[in-house]
Amino acid sequence: MLHSRRLNSAYLGFTCLCVLPCAGFGFYYGIPYSNDMGCTDFPGFNRPMCLPCPKNGRWPVSSSVHGRHCRNTSGDTSMTLPSPVDCDRWNNAVPLYSGHDIVEQPVDLRQLAERYASSFTTFLDGLNGTQPFFLYVAFAHMHVPQQHGSAFANSSLKGSVFADTLRELDHLVGTIIDELADRGLVEDTLVWFTGDNGPWDRKCNLTGSPGPFVGQWQRSAGGGGATMKQTTWEGGHREATIASWPGHIQAGGVSNALTSTLDIMPTLLALAGVHLPRDRQYDGLDISTVLLGNDTTTAASAIQPAPRHVDPARLTFARYAVSSTTGSLSETTASALPSFSQGHPFLFHPNSGVGKHGALQTVRLGQYKAHYVQGSTLDCVGVERPVSVLDEPLLFDLVSDPAEGHPLDLPSHGSIVHMVKQLLDAIARNISTDLTSVADYRHDPSVVPCCNSQNPVCRCSAV
């Protein structure tokens, strides 16, 4: 029997009472959405600053919180009071769940890391020595508002809130590794660490660095604005990934394989010898051979039903080909991208802030990336550029130009543009003929988490 636990913050909306406890895990501990989607008594740092929860049902009138100025969404740095909606979408406090029960509301973000560590230790203590387990931990640390325990205040060389919070996150990861080591489980446990998006430009000093992936074209020729989170530039979607499994994954190894968080599920199931249901399609690959240092990866079709009809003449450049009759994606062995043949030969980047949400208007094809949408969301200084859809893409070579600053000449790369257009046509047909679901971000006020509706912001004590 596989025991599973989820420690996290995540958000898909609230439309029923069982959104989190019924999410497939044996046990859940954490906050049910981002830590800026409700008030707390010690909200930490954000731009604009989040107000603490009111004690008597009334929001404070002061426009300075923790000695720092508030900042509104237009970029105005004047002393303006943020509306509670900036940090509190439902006018109640962020709850802490243990299983189905709210154990604290508002949660004390300063103690959340320590509580996660304690919950993990309790989880391991409940297992026998050979019992397989799966633990998913989605840290709330680097999301705003940022908060950390007192032991990490001014602990970083920079002495910044962001750096101190990052140090606590690093410490918590180390605690998890130490707990595994103390039980002799390190060599039997795959630890996989990654992120869900790049730095958030508009949060200024409360965000990280994208390294070389700065979206230079947007910053210069495109007129400025955000080029990281909420955009499809590399700084928004490219994430570092670290995996550790002593005796299986070579220490210090590096791979340039094109992979996705969509690959985590099929990879873990393949390693566990579990077969995926055969009546549906999957966007992820089993990338266990990338992790284990082999030269090739297992295509998703190897863990799906037998491949559908393939017309190799349509797309022979990739491990996935497109059926001329259904537009579905299936396997072919031909590849014209040998240096990027590990992992995905291509990926679609859904819009996440610029353009229609979820639309597929950016495509990664080997070392190339094609943008059919331009524009930006707000950056740190309040610059935002209007969105426009392009008839012909901005095409970049990410090997020679990781900053995405110099679009390639399209006539000289006609075959690449042609392949990209074929991919977009194929995925559009595939989606239109498949069963699809849409993330539900609505919330029903009657099921918003609340442990005591008689108190302001649903306040209750820890139990």
pLDDT at 308: 27
pLDDT at 441: 67
| Sign of the Cα pseudo-torsion (375, 377, 382, 386, in order) | positive
The edge-to-edge listing of strands for the beta sheet with 96-98 is: 101-104, 96-98, 27-31, 3-9, 133-138
pLDDT at 461: 65
pLDDT at 127: 87
pLDDT greater than 80 at residue 141:
yes
Decide: 447 and 15 in contact? Cβ < 8 Å: yes
**What's the token pair of residue 85?**
């909606």
Looking at per-residue pLDDT, the higher value among 425 and 56 belongs to 425
d(CA 369, CA 315): 17
pLDDT at 249: 94
pLDDT average, residue stretch 138-157: 91
Dump the DSSP string for 36-70. TSSB-SS--B-SSPPPPPPSSSS----SEETTEE-
d(CA 200, CA 58): 31
pLDDT greater than 80 at residue 360:
yes
For residue 46, the number of C-alpha atoms closer than 13 Å in the C-beta half-sphere is: 26
| Residues 6+ away with beta carbon under 8 Å from 375 | 222, 225, 354, 355, 385, 386, 387, 388
Looking at per-residue pLDDT, the higher value among 2 and 454 belongs to 454
pLDDT greater than 80 at residue 339:
no
d(CA 345, CA 317): 8
pLDDT at 33: 85
pLDDT at 41: 92
**What's the token pair of residue 152?**
């990490």
Residues 417-453: pLDDT tens digits? 999 999 999 999 888 887 767 767 676 777 788 888 8
pLDDT greater than 90 at residue 216:
yes
| Sign of the Cα pseudo-torsion (60, 42, 16, 284, in order) | positive
Q: Which residues pair with 9 in a beta bridge?
A: 31
Q: What's the CA angle centered on 263, arms 258 and 269, to 5 degrees?
A: 145
pLDDT greater than 80 at residue 390:
yes
Task: Please give the mean pLDDT across all residues of the chain.
Answer: 79
**What's the token pair of residue 353?**
């802030």
Residues 296-332: pLDDT tens digits? 444 333 332 222 222 323 333 333 333 333 333 333 3
Spell out where 139-270 has E strands: 191-193, 242-244
pLDDT greater than 70 at residue 197:
yes
pLDDT at 303: 30
Query: Quick one: pLDDT band at residue 210, thresholds 50, 70, 90?
Result: very high
Residues 252-298: pLDDT tens digits? 988 889 999 999 999 999 999 999 888 878 889 999 999 998 644 44
d(CA 322, CA 308): 9
pLDDT average, residue stretch 59-66: 45
pLDDT at 155: 93
pLDDT average, residue stretch 81-106: 73
Percent pLDDT > 70 in the chain is 75
Helix/strand/coil for 7: strand
d(CA 179, CA 205): 33
pLDDT greater than 60 at residue 462:
no
Query: Quick one: pLDDT band at residue 54, thresholds 50, 70, 90?
Result: confident
pLDDT at 443: 67
**What's the token pair of residue 164?**
């101190």
Residue of 38, 117, 128, 116 whose CA lies nearest to 84 = 38
**What's the token pair of residue 151?**
């032991």
pLDDT greater than 50 at residue 156:
yes
d(CA 3, CA 27): 9
List own/partner pairs for 153-160 with CB under 8 A and 24 or more apart.
Answer: 160/205
Query: Quick one: pLDDT band at residue 100, thresholds 50, 70, 90?
Result: confident
Query: Buried b vs exposed e over 373-383: b needs ≥16 C-beta within 10 Å?
Result: bbbbbbbbeeb
pLDDT greater than 70 at residue 340:
no
pTM for the full model? 0.82
pLDDT at 203: 94
pLDDT average, residue stretch 147-169: 92
**DSSP label at 279?**
S
Helix/strand/coil for 110: helix
pLDDT average, residue stretch 127-141: 87
